[in-house]
Amino acid sequence: MKILHLVEYLELGGIERLLSTFSDYANDKAVFFAYEMDGPKGISLEMARKGRKVYFYKKQAGHDGCVVKKLKKIIKEENISTIHTHDFGPMEYALRLKLLFPKIQLVHTQHTLHHFLSNKKYTYFFQFAALFYKKIVCVSESVKKALQKKFVIPLRNLEVIYNGIALEKFPWNESVYFSNILRLVGVSRISAEKNLEHTIKSLYYLKQRGIEFEYRHIGSGEQEYEEKIKKSVTDLGLDQNIKFLGHQENVSPFLVDAQVFISSSFTEGHPISVVEALASGLTCFLSDIDPHAIFKNSNVHYFSLENGSMLVDLLSEYTEDSEKYGASLARGRDFIKNYFSIETTLDEYMKIYR
């Protein structure tokens, strides 16, 4: 049994880190194809260095028949039995390949929501394509509900499998209490839905309260948007406090060196970065969106995006009594161990593949 994971990008972000972990555990049973990249970058470069089978192709605009030709060759050479598509884009190519190779089974994982749900044409195609899939996996109940709300005809092959992590890659942070400078971290793409503007504005007001801090952000985004975010940091006089470290192959050292993880996202699928932060023993301050609610029994604290001072108040309170927040750190790691391990995730997928 050999699985072909079909994606648009394999460069940065939580989905890509998840697939990299898949490759570590799959040995020679997994092959990866990214059709919006002309070569290894970021996470895919790390995978290639480890000897994983990763193929690349930079497709032309629109539907590119050359992608199908490349995939046909890979399917034959690698003896692929299952195509696993990730997020909406790759489904059009998987559907064509299913027609060419009827015995191949299709499995899909919907990680995110913020692109295709706003376009009726896309949601109609998704429902049609899903008829040819063995299983449509949603990474959270909130993703599943959002899909069901858009579907004209209910899908019977929907299932929820949460993204997991390799816990051993995230040692527990033993230095989590506040001392002199508050150490903050965020891990995400720099994009509109991640709402870094809210985090930056809150940190500006935190500085106005006289609280010393350092915020390090791991991740990058489209150049124009990233430059806009960095300019706002400069305009607010926060260049000494906020550092953008770009893509990092391993986020664990930056989590271990922090005390508090922040996510101000408008929308998420199942945020792998929060799972990683909790596994590392960090206190997490998260926006009160539905996908974040699943972590409520662990070491997380929620703030409203409509309340401009709520995150600032939480951070201020943390500096006054970090030990109160630290009392439940072990509970956060145990929560991840029990519900979001990569072993559990892979076991659930293996049941589908078989």
Over residues 298-347, the pLDDT tens digits come to 779 999 999 889 999 999 999 888 777 766 667 788 888 888 999 999 99
Token pair 């995150």 in the structure block, residue: 311
Q: How many domains does the chain have?
A: 2
For residues 143 and 37, membership in a common domain is answered with yes
Q: Is residue 352 part of a domain?
A: no
DSSP one-letter string for 147-179: HHHH-SS--SSEEE----B-GGGSPPPS--S--
Residue 346 lies in a domain: no
In this prediction, residue 327 carries a pLDDT of 63
Claim to verify: residue 238 and residue 148 sit in the same structural domain: no
What confidence score (pLDDT) does residue 121 get?
87
Structural domain including 19 reads 3-160
Among 129, 145, 160, where does a domain finish? Answer: 160
For residue 162, what pLDDT is reported?
A: 93
Is residue 142 located within the same domain as residue 254? no
Of residues 257 and 239, the one with the higher pLDDT is 239
In a domain, 177, yes or no: yes
Q: What is the pLDDT of residues 189-245, one digit of tens each?
A: 999 999 999 999 999 999 999 999 999 999 988 899 999 999 999 999 999 999 999
Q: Which of 125, 160, 195 is the last residue of a domain?
A: 160
Q: To the nearest whole number, what is the mean pLDDT of the chain? A: 90
One domain, residues 190 and 127 = no
Helix axes 14-26 and 342-353, enclosed angle (nearest 10): 70
Given 127, 160, 193, the domain boundary residue is 160
On whether both 50 and 96 belong to a single domain, the answer is: yes
Q: Are residues 171 and 153 in the same domain?
A: no
Cβ burial, residue 219 (10 Å; 0-12/13-18/19+): buried
| pLDDT confidence of residue 347 | 92
Q: Both 184 and 137 in a single domain?
A: no
Mean pLDDT of 284-290: 95
Same domain assignment for residues 52 and 182: no
Least confident of 49-58, 177-186, 319-328: 319-328
| pTM for the whole structure | 0.88
Per the domain annotation, does 351 fall within a domain?
no
Q: Is residue 350 part of a domain?
A: no
Banded model confidence at residue 177, pLDDT cuts 50, 70, 90: low
126 with 10, same domain?
yes
Our measurement of the distance from residue 179's CA atom to the centroid of its chain's CA atoms, rounded to an integer in Å, reads 31
Domain CATH number, residue 292: 3.40.50.2000
Q: Are strands 30-34 and 36-37 parallel, antiparallel or unpaired?
A: unpaired
Judge if 181 and 257 occupy the same domain. yes
Instruction: Give the list of residues 6+ apart from residue 119 with CB closer than 8 angstroms, or none.
Output: none
Q: Is residue 347 part of a domain?
A: no
Distances (CA, A) of 144 to 116, 128, 154, 204, 252: 14, 17, 11, 36, 30
Same domain as 152, residue 211: no
Residue 132 lies in a domain: yes
Residue 142 and residue 219 in one domain = no
Query: Does 278 map to a domain?
Result: yes
